[in-house]
């Protein structure tokens, strides 16, 4: 390391964020990156410890600890501290094709497993990664690099989300001719329409897509495989097909009144906002709006938090976020030691913003919806909520007599996802497992890809495993 005592000499310094009340005025990213010298100092905090759990990506007690990509974190931390940005970029890209995305939206499992974090503050790994990739673009290191030799093989990738882009990038670099099919009007999948602009500005996605196009990847939008283009045609024109259609089948809430007008799936809501933002600057009437409405968000994960932050920016009258499970402890418990993933309560940006606007954390724990209420015209006007407690089998069950009504004109269901949508798997004739994920043989062709039950059709880990994340 450049300074073996850096972790003792320097404190952790994060990129400052705009205040909650300031950043909700727009849909832009809201952190100010550190200066080059400040980031180099943060790189010096890396201990180069003997066992770098930060890059292990292994399961401990059923949870992933460290980077699932096995990024060479201590190596490029050292290079950051030296200001060797090109070499740091080269080491980073050995394991990660999209650091411009992960440095913005990854939950930073690396930092939770950092040895510095065992008795203090972990290294700013994600911010270091951000500095590496943004410096690479600024200095021209991250320019398009087309393969010098083509194999003559043609590959179709179905879906342009993170897994589809990763597969396309890897196969293109190996010299195959890759065509990516996307059913939406813009490529990027979850990156484009699932993640709000304030977490990942869309010009960042477009920057990478343009680079991939320069390198020879072809993107075909507004084309739904299995509908707009037949599987027979795909098999005729391509040597192999990669299914990267993701776990895009949302988990529903099956209660009375579900058909009320004003109940939406979270991703449909988020997509409508981002699409309108890109198409027309959020012209009124072109997206699902939370303005002046009492909103209920069902689900406490990242998608639920994104809905909260988006509703605040819309100008919602109130936001209530329901979580079925009890509130997690604020600090690690004795049965959750480092370097396990910390099972602690996290307050994310959306919840911070809701608290600043409405005066309190929007989350209500151990609560779910028992019934949706609607008016005479079928519009949502409220919901009956019920408290939950663990039963003798350890499952969360309704508490008799705990029901109460709340007003609501908009409900967003962010209860997670099942596997791929049925029409896709049926069109390609691939088998699915009990959880409706694409079943794989377990024979790994090229990380992260697996064979399906159908010849010449391969699924990525995104379509096979996303619903289990």
- Same domain (yes/no): 267, 408: yes
Q: What tens digit of pLDDT does each residue of 315-334 get? A: 999 999 999 999 999 999 99
Let me know whether 291 and 324 are in one domain.
yes
Domain count, the chain: 3
If residue 338 lies in a helix (H) or strand (E), which one and from where to where? none
Supply the CATH number for residue 26's domain.
Answer: 1.10.1060.10
Q: Residue 286 maps to which CATH number?
A: 3.50.50.60
Check pLDDT > 80 for residue 448. no
* Nearest CA among 79, 96, 281 for reference residue 170: 96
Alpha helices in 159-294 (DSSP H): 162-173, 202-214, 231-237, 266-280
pLDDT digits (tens, 9 = 90+) for 130-184: 999 999 999 999 999 999 999 999 999 999 999 999 999 999 999 999 999 999 9
Inside any domain, residue 43? yes
| Residue 158 placed within a domain | yes
pTM here is 0.92
409 and 271 share one domain: yes
The pLDDT tens digits for 358-394 are 999 999 999 999 999 999 999 999 999 999 999 999 9
pLDDT surpassing 60 at residue 461: no
Q: What is the distance between the alpha carbons of residues 257 and 409, in angstroms, rounded to a whole number?
A: 13
Residues 441 and 337 both lie in one domain: no
CA distance 390 to 98: 41
**DSSP 8-class letter at 27:** S
Could you tell me if 32 and 98 lie in one domain?
Answer: yes
329 and 343 housed in the same domain: yes
DSSP 142-201: T-----S---S-EEEEE--SHHHHHHHHHHHHTT-EEEEE-SSSSTTTIIIIIS-TTTS-
What is the DSSP-derived secondary structure letter of residue 293? Answer: -
Residue pair 77/127 in contact (Cβ under 8 Å)? The answer is no
Whether residues 273 and 191 share a domain: the answer is: no
CB 434 within 8 A of CB 441: no
Do 277 and 409 fall into the same domain?
yes
Structure confidence at residue 411 (pLDDT): 98
Question: Rounded to an integer, what is the distance from CA 396 to the centroid of its chain?
Answer: 27
Q: Could you list the residue range(s) of the whole structural domain that residue 169 is in? A: 154-248+418-468
Mean pLDDT of 201-209: 98
């Amino acid at each position: 390391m450049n300074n073996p005592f850096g972790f003792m000499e320097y404190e952790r310094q994060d990129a400052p964020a705009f205040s909650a009340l300031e950043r909700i005025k727009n849909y832009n990213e809201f952190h100010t990156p550190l200066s080059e010298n400040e980031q180099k100092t943060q790189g010096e905090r890396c201990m180069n410890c003997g066992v770098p759990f930060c890059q292990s990506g292994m399961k401990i007690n059923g949870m992933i600890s460290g980077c699932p990509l096995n990024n060479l974190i201590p190596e490029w931390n050292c290079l950051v501290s030296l200001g060797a940005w090109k070499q740091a970029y080269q080491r980073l890209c050995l394991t990660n094709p999209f650091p411009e995305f992960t440095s913005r939206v990854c939950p930073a499992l690396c930092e939770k497993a950092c040895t510095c974090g065992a008795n203090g503050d972990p290294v700013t790994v994600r911010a270091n990664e951000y500095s590496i990739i943004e410096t690479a673009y600024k200095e021209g290191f991250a320019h398009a690099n087309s393969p010098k030799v083509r194999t003559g093989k043609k590959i179709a990738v179905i879906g342009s989300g993170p897994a589809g882009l990763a597969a396309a990038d890897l196969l293109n670099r190996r010299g195959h001719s890759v065509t990516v099919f996307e059913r939406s009007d813009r490529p990027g999948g979850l990156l484009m329409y699932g993640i709000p602009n304030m977490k990942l500005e869309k010009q960042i996605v477009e920057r990478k897509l343009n680079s991939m196009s320069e390198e020879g990847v072809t993107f075909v939008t507004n084309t739904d495989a299995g509908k707009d283009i037949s599987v027979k045609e795909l098999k005729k024109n391509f040597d192999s097909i990669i299914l990267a259609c993701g776990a895009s089948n949302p988990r529903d809430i099956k209660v009375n009144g579900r058909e009320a007008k004003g109940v939406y799936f979270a991703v449909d809501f988020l997509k409508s906002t981002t699409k309108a933002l890109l198409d027309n600057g959020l012209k009124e009437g072109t997206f699902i709006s939370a303005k002046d409405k009492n909103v209920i968000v069902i689900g406490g994960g990242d998608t639920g938090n994104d809905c909260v932050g988006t509703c605040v920016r819309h100008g919602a009258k109130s936001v209530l976020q329901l979580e079925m499970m009890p509130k997690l402890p604020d600090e690690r418990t004795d049965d959750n030691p480092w370097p396990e993933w910390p099972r602690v309560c996290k307050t994310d940006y959306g919840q911070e913003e809701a608290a600043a606007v409405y005066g309190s954390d929007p989350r209500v724990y151990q609560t779910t919806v028992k019934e949706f209420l609607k008016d005479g015209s079928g519009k949502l006007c409220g919901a009956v909520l019920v408290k939950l407690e663990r039963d003798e089998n350890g499952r969360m069950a309704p508490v008799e007599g705990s029901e109460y009504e709340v007003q609501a004109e908009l409900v967003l269901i962010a209860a997670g996802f099942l596997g791929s949508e049925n029409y896709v798997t049926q069109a390609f004739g691939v088998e699915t497992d009990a959880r409706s994920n694409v079943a794989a043989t377990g024979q790994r062709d090229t990380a992260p890809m697996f064979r399906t039950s159908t010849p010449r059709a391969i699924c990525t880990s995104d379509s096979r495993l996303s619903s289990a994340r």
